[in-house]
Amino acid sequence: MREAAGAYGEKGSYRSAPDITGPESLAKVRAHKQEMKRAAKTAPAAKKVLIQDMLKWMLRLRVPIA
């Protein structure tokens, strides 16, 4: 399962809701999300890479894309 999730499945990563186990990990996930948003705003190429990574992850897990 970790391989299918790519970077989101890395041990010790704090990137999404499944990584939240308490207040400290919630703060780390929020910080990661805020950093990704800042990077996407400042660099259009970073936004494109972020979207591509999310789509790859969704396709691997067969998440319906609306």
Which residues of the chain have a pLDDT value below 50?
Answer: none
CA 39 from centre of chain: 13
State how far the Cα of 45 lies from the Cα of 50, in Å rounded to an integer: 9
pLDDT score for 2 = 52
pTM of the model: 0.52
Element holding 27 (H helix, E strand): helix 23-42
Query: For residue 19, which phi and psi values (nearest 5 degrees)?
Result: -85, -10
- Length of the chain, in residues: 66
